[in-house]
Structure 1
């Protein structure tokens, strides 16, 4: 019988560089983590697998910021401030930011142009002198003594290279860096099934006058098409909304599953391969249906994104796991580093189910504890974004871009504080981190007045 493994010869790996802070992953958490660490004067490198920033927001074509806003006692408020405000202003300056729009009559989201997001993110990092390495895929770590990461291995067009840092921040979305370093993790619900992914698409050539508020009538048209047997849909809750220009609309219509009906697992290569192909098939079917909707008859697909939109894979276990009860109960924490105003968004078989805190009776947001950024078992590592320490239900809410901005800014600031005090991130004075974040314009909850306006 042939061996099922191959021994790779030992080799000397070139050292790409040495930094104080290295961030893996250029999504919303990674963008602001790198920028906030560099703003504090730390030599910072951001490593990203693609040639652009934005994470699922650009690579998966999400084109919509969720979680920037909350419903506070019945009033819509933009809760996520700080460095996210700088990024939003840059996107808006490029004429790439929509006005916030209401979701389910309860909470706001805000659409953007993906090209503007990419450019604005470049500008933000350049303004803080962040070093960037694009087209570099994380491939493993070399551990040092005392539960510390010595180096991160990356694969580039120049071959395998190593990057050293004093503190690493895992913003990979999948928790890759943390898992390679030995941090414990979970995947999915109690049965190991993650949230379903989706393949986004954008259409152009829509007649905005004839289309009108088509997002209100499309669900009824879907029901009629299903009853007539002319179309089948992978899920009930379709999102079809206009971009900045009314002739271009974004479409979130798909739900990608394995043959057994469970969600594609985004850290299994064969699953990802099948998911990409199935996602495009579903996107084409959605487009063919939408061409029957008034105003969409002459539309065409202007963009299928570079990758499938992954909502959940690994969640790293840290000092605290944010839970669904925390979200619905609007929990407070002594070590809060910001807030999340997005509800639980459960992608269940064939549908999307939103569960909100009581509205308008409650303040509508939960605080996010610093402990969820600090993984167990690794001393010079922080984790921010959708792979931070949360339960399946908690992650169903706090995985969105608003909460990722919050976690990223806190992680970058915490790394800088740890370096300035010669401490590991787990042992920094949280009160000093909170004061730093407030000085930078972030809203962390606690005893602060709630921001005003959208």
Structure 2
């Protein structure tokens, strides 16, 4: 059973038990960077006003790389970014092919053609998570575009609900919007360069790394920048392109008896030599578009967060983050239950 509100309270308890000092409702707003690229402090803003946090090691897990950008770490923003999605918990849509239904009535509600997905929630309630739409062309690392995308994503949810109310009136009594995501679901913004760029070839062929800190099995999953839908590439060589009106299977490699069971992420994809006390964790780590499509999901990104925390502890003695003893890092991760192969 999964109850995300109960999970929030439990995570609060874990924070307390670990003696971590959290700062809720606090925004990062800049950094003091030394001439050698070392971060000396980050500036924050909250109800108390402007403040600074000094530390020996910093982890940027903002997703958009806000601190790494201020450290002058090079990055790119691709022209064909994977578009963001506003998710919603909705009851009353069970049994409806929402992809087909949405596209049949989209013109009437001034929303673009699209192809998303939905899934049940293992909590016993008749509620499903719907991620049916995308906000195309939005770079949500830009403040104005983020604001517009948030509002447009919510408009898509309202349009979807109104379609059902108008064309399936028998569903009105059951139809209920229980929850919207706290922010739009960002898939991709800034892509930072590190000591190693993970490639799609390394992912799909299961390349092994001596400094591996995470393992993954999730398929390459790239959402189309326009028109909705996505392409999946599996480790066993299958490939499927899903659009609002089609599902086309093919193969990206010939059939074989020798498929990798998983792929790895190297620690080098999280650090830079010119940022000696910075670690980049989460979806901003260095990967090409194909590899990024596979590793960007929570089950893999969570592992990079744990690795970043362990590596930061090992670097407290002043060791540059890119020179952390990876054998010791992997040993610590293994002791915590991570599978290190």
Residue aligned with 2:339, SS = coil
Could you tell me whether the CA contact under 8 Å between 2:116 and 2:133 is conserved in 1? no
Deviations 1:391-426 (A, max 9, x none): 222222111111111101111111111225x41111
What CA distance in whole angstroms lies between the structure 2 residues aligned with 1:255 and 1:396?
Answer: 16
Query: RMSD between aligned alpha carbons?
Result: 2.4
> Which runs of 5 or more residues in structure 2 are unaligned?
238-256
Q: Is the CA contact (8 Å cut-off) linking 1:340 and 1:365 kept in structure 2?
A: yes
Q: In 2 relative to 1, CA 296–241 (structure 1 residues): closer, same or farther, beyond 3 Å?
A: farther
With normalisation by structure 2, the TM-score equals 0.85
Residue 60 of structure 1 is matched in structure 2 by: none
Partners of 1:155 and 1:193 in 2: CA distance: 33
Is residue 247 of structure 1 aligned with residue 126 of structure 2?
Answer: yes
* Structure 1: distance between partners of 2:81 and 2:6: 31
Would you say the 8 A contact 1:201–1:304 is kept in 2?
yes
CA distance in 1, matches of 2:117, 2:73: 37
1:203 maps to what in 2?
Answer: 90
Q: What are the equivalent positions in structure 2 for 1:11-30 lying under 5 Å apart?
A: none
Higher-RCO chain (CA-CA 8 Å, sequence separation at least 6): 1
| 1:194-223, Cα deviation, whole Å (9 max, x unpaired) | 21001111113x38xxx3xx37x4445556
- Corresponding residue for residue 394 of structure 1: 291
The match for 1:434 is 330
Given the superposition, is the C-alpha separation of residues 294 and 441 from structure 1 closer, same or farther in structure 2, using an over 3 Å criterion?
A: farther
Shift of 1:435: 1.2
Aligned partner of 2:44 in structure 1 is 154
Contact 1:316 1:375 in 2 (8 A): no
In structure 2, what is the equivalent of residue 319 of structure 1?
195
Q: Give a deviation string over 1:4-57, Cα, whole Å, max 9, x none.
A: xxxxxxxxxxxxxxxxxxxxxxxxxxxxxxxxxxxxxxxxxxxxxxxxxxxxxx
After TM superposition, give the deviation of residue 151 of structure 1 in Å. Answer: 0.7
Retained in 1: the 8 A contact 2:118–2:128?
A: no
Q: How does 1:48-447 map to 2 (within 5 A)?
A: 95=1, 97=2, 113-188=3-78, 192-204=79-91, 206=92, 211=94, 214=95, 217-222=97-102, 225=104, 234-257=113-136, 263-290=137-164, 296-297=171-172, 298-348=174-224, 349=226, 350-358=228-236, 362-420=259-317, 422-444=318-340, 446=341
What residue in structure 1 maps to residue 253 of structure 2? none
The secondary structure found in structure 1 opposite 2:222 is strand
Whole-Å separation in 2 of the counterparts to 1:222 and 1:158: 46
Name the counterpart of 2:245: none
- Deviation of 1:234 after TM superposition, in Å, equals 3.4
Distance verdict in 2 for CA 1:380–1:218, change over 3 Å:
same
Supply the distance in 2 between the matched residues of 1:229 and 1:306 (Cα, whole angstroms): 27
Would you say the 8 A contact 1:375–1:389 is kept in 2?
Answer: no
Q: Could you tell me whether the CA contact under 8 Å between 1:243 and 1:250 is conserved in 2?
A: no
Residue 243 of structure 2 aligns with which residue?
none
Number of equivalent positions:
317
**What SS does structure 2 have at the residue aligned with 1:423?**
coil
Q: CA deviation at 1:337?
A: 0.8
Partner of 1:74: none
The question of whether the paired residues in 1 share the 8 Å contact of 2:205 and 2:260 is answered with no
Deviation at 1:243, TM superposition (A): 4.8
Report the Cα offset of residue 175 of structure 1: 0.5
Q: CA deviation at 1:233?
A: 5.3
Shift of 1:296: 4.8
Moved more, 347-356 or 173-182: 347-356
- Rate the CA distance shift 1:182–1:382 in 2: closer, same or farther, 3 A: same
Q: Which residue of 2 aligns with 1:9?
A: none
